[in-house]
Amino acid sequence: MAKREEPKPEETGEEKKIEEFGSEMYLESARALRQVGARVFLSIGAAILIWIFGEMIFLPIAKGMTQQFFGYPVHSIISFIIVVALALIIFTVFIDIRRLTGGIAGVLAYHFGKASGEVSVETRKNLGAFYTKPEAARLLASLAIDRWDAKVLDPACG
């Protein structure tokens, strides 16, 4: 016997706002994945090329030179420049990987929320689940968090 589907109730204004916010956050996360993912890939490629050219071309040439600049041999100066360039690239890659994981988490959260069937606003209210509005959460976070590596504890969460 076929099961009849019950008609879906009309979405309220608050549910539409939540859906729009979820879609907006998904698009922002997907955009971060595209931008940061490409930048990480290109940065790692650039670091590899700098290291290869430095080791295979510039350092052998510099080791044949006898001149000194500021009391240091040329090959030592070139080695220092290569190390500094690689350190800067690696540092930016670590920062970008942090953004990349945030983007991945945003995309996965959106898709898992869709797959599991998000709970309606009315059901959350009946269960006593109330959430801070996104605008208020952003304001509070910007006031409370002053560094990118700060650890935040929200004792009311969950």
Q: Which residues of 100-127 are buried (b: 16+ CB within 10 A; e: fewer)?
A: beebeebbeebeeeeeeeeeebeeeeee
In 10-154, which ranges are continuous DSSP H helix? Answer: 13-53, 59-63, 74-116, 121-127, 134-144
| Beta carbons of 99 and 148 less than 8 angstroms apart | no
- How far apart CA 96 and CA 34 sit, in angstroms, is 12
pLDDT higher than threshold 70 for residue 124: no
Query: Residue with structure tokens 């510099």?
Result: 62
Dihedral sign for Cα atoms in the order 52, 53, 58, 64: positive
Region 18-23 average pLDDT: 74
Per-range mean pLDDT, top range of 23-37, 41-55, 60-74: 41-55
Region 32-50 average pLDDT: 89
pLDDT higher than threshold 70 for residue 115: no
pTM of the model: 0.53
Query: Residue with structure tokens 């009946």?
Result: 126
pLDDT higher than threshold 70 for residue 43: yes
- How far apart CA 68 and CA 62 sit, in angstroms, is 10
pLDDT higher than threshold 60 for residue 118: no
Asked if residue 10 is part of any domain, the answer here is: no
Asked if residue 43 is part of any domain, the answer here is: yes
* Between 103 and 155, the higher pLDDT residue: 103
- How far apart CA 132 and CA 127 sit, in angstroms, is 16
Asked if residue 152 is part of any domain, the answer here is: no
pLDDT above 90 coverage of the chain, percent: 15
pLDDT higher than threshold 70 for residue 10: no
Tens of pLDDT, residue by residue over 78-95, are: 899 999 999 999 999 988
- How far apart CA 112 and CA 139 sit, in angstroms, is 26
pLDDT recorded at residue 126: 60
Asked if residue 84 is part of any domain, the answer here is: yes
- How far apart CA 41 and CA 23 sit, in angstroms, is 27
* Between 105 and 112, the higher pLDDT residue: 105
Asked if residue 114 is part of any domain, the answer here is: yes
Asked if residue 13 is part of any domain, the answer here is: no
pLDDT recorded at residue 128: 57
Range of the domain at 108: 20-144
Region 134-146 average pLDDT: 73
